[in-house]
């Protein structure tokens, strides 16, 4: 498994950054290679991606969600990945968004891209686009989901 940790500071309150992050269907607006995300249920999303000419679809399950603090997920089946994004108040209108992710590169192309830190650079670029996206909206999120998802105590 490969691990990525990236963060970015955004000039919006924690609540605004968190609320926008819960709008998974808007991810294609700031995530390169993400064609579509369908919110299947409160805790399940279906992703369609095309990265380096490889089209892939997969489901992900939200395993923990605490408003204004964190959203954790894991993929269901292949490709294997899991992660957490956390939100840290730096000031009234400033938030640090921190993303930690583990993934299993598949095939020769993905393993080569992983060795060259392509995925890490993409994540860094996507966080920068998230910053531009939310700040350009004047701090107005496109929606919010304020529900909680508890972590399974047996995992």
In-domain check, residue 34: no
Position 140 scores a pLDDT of 87
Position 153 scores a pLDDT of 53
In-domain check, residue 128: yes
User: Worst-scoring range by mean pLDDT, 39-48, 76-85, 99-108?
Assistant: 99-108
Residues 108-117 have pLDDT tens digits of 877 787 778 8
Position 114 scores a pLDDT of 74
Mean pLDDT for all residues in the chain:
91
Position 151 scores a pLDDT of 67
The CATH number linked to 71 is 3.30.530.20
User: Worst-scoring range by mean pLDDT, 55-64, 72-81, 108-117, 139-148?
Assistant: 108-117
Q: What integer is the mean pLDDT of 7-35? A: 96
In-domain check, residue 118: yes
As for how many domains the chain has, the answer is 1
Name the helix (H) or strand (E) containing 21.
Answer: helix 14-21
Tokens of residue 115, six digits: 């060795």
Q: What integer is the mean pLDDT of 27-34? A: 94
In-domain check, residue 55: no
Which range marks the domain in which residue 8 is found? 2-22+62-136
Position 41 scores a pLDDT of 94
In-domain check, residue 153: no
In-domain check, residue 39: no
pTM for the predicted model, two decimal places: 0.90
Position 152 scores a pLDDT of 58
Of 34, 6, 4, 32, nearest to 102 by C-alpha is 4
Higher pLDDT, 45 or 103: 45
Q: What integer is the mean pLDDT of 141-146? A: 87
* Secondary structure, 3-state, 80-144: CEEEEEEEEEEECCEEEEEEEEEECCCHHHHHHHHHCCHHHHHHHHHHHHHHHHHHHCCCCCCCC
Q: What integer is the mean pLDDT of 55-83? A: 94
In-domain check, residue 9: yes
In-domain check, residue 95: yes
């Amino acid at each position: 498994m490969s691990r990525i940790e990236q963060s970015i500071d955004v000039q919006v309150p924690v609540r605004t950054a968190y609320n926008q992050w819960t709008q998974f269907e808007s991810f294609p607006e700031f995530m390169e290679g993400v064609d579509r995300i369908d919110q299947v249920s409160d805790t399940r999303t279906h992703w369609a991606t095309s990265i380096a000419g490889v089209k892939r679809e997969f489901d992900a399950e939200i395993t923990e969600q605490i408003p204004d603090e964190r959203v954790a997920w894991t993929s269901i089946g292949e490709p294997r990945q899991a992660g957490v994004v956390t939100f840290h108040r730096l000031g009234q209108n400033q938030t640090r968004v921190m993303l930690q992710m583990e993934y299993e590169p598949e095939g020769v192309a993905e393993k080569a891209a992983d060795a060259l830190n392509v995925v890490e650079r993409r994540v860094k670029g996507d966080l920068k686009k998230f910053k531009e996206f939310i700040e350009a909206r004047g701090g107005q999120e496109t929606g919010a989901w304020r529900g909680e998802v508890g972590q399974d105590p047996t995992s």
